[in-house]
């Protein structure tokens, strides 16, 4: 809680004023998170290897993934530890006039989805297979429902922009200025966004560095969008809703960004450790929640386009096989299809990173096209 500690000494040391700035605390949060992961991961790899906390290989991929057998899993615990520590040091948990702050909601989201991912990973480790799809979705539904209740506690969730009042249940669209009020259906959309994002990132986590590298441009894009949404002048100029205290979300995202960059150091091909569900599920849920908090729900489809494509490939494959007994892809998700086509793993991963960067650039570019 350095933020509060430094504020007490501002009068005697004016230099400490810099810690009130979002940019300074964001940089500090990202750096702390990055260093924690960099320094702790080698020890975790050693401990997990000794205790057989290792990856189970999919029977359909045994031939191409046999060299991954025995690689330590559940490295997402490290990302979670780094994010929590960085947030507690740099974050502002107090929001005047509200029962719960926007920053607190973000951190709660990360923790509860990390716990659900840990439970699945632990079950997989102990019994040889993870939770059933129905159990996973039930846990995620309950977690998301709790988050929606917390959103109601944010009295200042929406704010006045000069030309319109952006209610909580309203959504805007990229490229156009039209606003649609979904009413109670908005909360169904929230469920779909958070649960869908969590599972889309989880599906993408199938090759060394694929999910963790692909989510970095998404986080960077959300940092820009959250910073703009939290600044009244920028949001008014760019005609996007100004969300009171959204700047604090930048610190949360920066902490995640630092942790993911540090983890990519060890997860890049050939991976020394995998993050498991305890890493991928909270990462996906967090980007989904942030898109809701800053009122960029639809834009997330572009920003996280690589994860949307991966999820769609699974949905298309299931529907096609169930109704027509035909496979559209050799195997789903899409990255495994390319793997079966003979592409080298590193080439698939780097190309997916490039596409993710392009999606992120397109999403940020929409700020000027409204």
The pair of three-digit structure tokens given for residue 305, joined into one six-digit string: 């386009």
pLDDT tens by residue, 290-315: 999 998 999 999 999 999 999 999 99
Cα separation values, 272 from 265, 297, 363, Å: 9, 35, 33
Question: Which regions in the chain score pLDDT beneath 70?
Answer: 1-17, 55, 57-66, 95-100, 153-167, 177, 370
Helix ranges (DSSP H) in 182-331: 185-204, 210-230, 232-237, 247-267, 277-293, 300-303, 305-324
| Beta pairing class for 179-181 and 170-172 | antiparallel
Contacts of residue 324, defined as CB under 8 A and 6 or more positions apart, other chains included, come to none
pTM of the model: 0.91
Query: What is the structure's pLDDT at 314?
Result: 94
Query: What is the structure's pLDDT at 15?
Result: 59
DSSP summary character for residue 19: G
Query: What is the structure's pLDDT at 159?
Result: 44
CA dist., res. 330 & res. 304, Å (int): 24
């Amino acid at each position: 809680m350095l933020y509060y500690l430094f504020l007490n000494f501002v009068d005697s040391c004016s230099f400490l004023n810099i810690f009130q700035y979002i940019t300074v605390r964001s940089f500090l949060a990202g750096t702390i998170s990055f260093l924690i992961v960099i320094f702790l991961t080698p020890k975790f790899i050693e401990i997990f290897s000794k205790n057989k906390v290792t990856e189970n290989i999919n029977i359909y991929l045994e031939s191409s993934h046999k060299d991954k057998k025995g690689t330590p899993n559940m490295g997402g615990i490290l990302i979670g530890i780094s994010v929590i520590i960085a947030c507690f040091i740099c974050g502002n948990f107090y929001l005047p006039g509200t029962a719960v702050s926007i920053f607190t909601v973000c951190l709660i989201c990360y923790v509860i989805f990390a716990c659900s991912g840990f439970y699945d990973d632990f079950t997989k480790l102990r019994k040889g297979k993870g939770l059933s799809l129905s159990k996973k979705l039930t846990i995620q539904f309950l977690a998301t429902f709790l988050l929606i209740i917390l959103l109601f506690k944010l009295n200042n969730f929406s704010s006045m922009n000069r030309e319109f009042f952006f209610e909580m249940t309203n959504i805007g669209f990229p490229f156009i200025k039209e606003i649609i009020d979904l009413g109670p259906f908005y909360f169904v959309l929230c469920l779909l966004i958070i649960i869908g994002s969590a599972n889309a990132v989880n599906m993408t986590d199938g090759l060394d560095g694929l999910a963790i590298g692909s989510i970095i441009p998404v986080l960077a894009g959300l940092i820009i969008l959250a910073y703009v949404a939290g600044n009244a002048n920028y949001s008014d100029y760019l005609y996007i809703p100004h969300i009171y205290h959204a700047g604090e979300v930048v610190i949360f995202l920066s902490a995640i960004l630092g942790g993911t960059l540090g983890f990519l150091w060890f997860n890049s091909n050939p991976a020394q450790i995998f993050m498991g569900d305890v890493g991928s599920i909270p990462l996906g849920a967090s980007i989904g929640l942030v898109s809701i908090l800053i009122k960029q729900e639809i834009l997330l489809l572009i920003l996280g386009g690589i994860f949307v494509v991966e999820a769609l490939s699974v949905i298309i494959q299931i529907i096609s096989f169930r109704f027509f007994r035909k496979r559209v892809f050799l195997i789903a998700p899409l990255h495994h299809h390319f793997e079966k086509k003979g592409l080298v793993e590193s080439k698939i991963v780097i190309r997916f990173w490039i596409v993710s960067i392009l999606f992120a650039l397109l999403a940020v570019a929409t700020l000027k096209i409204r």
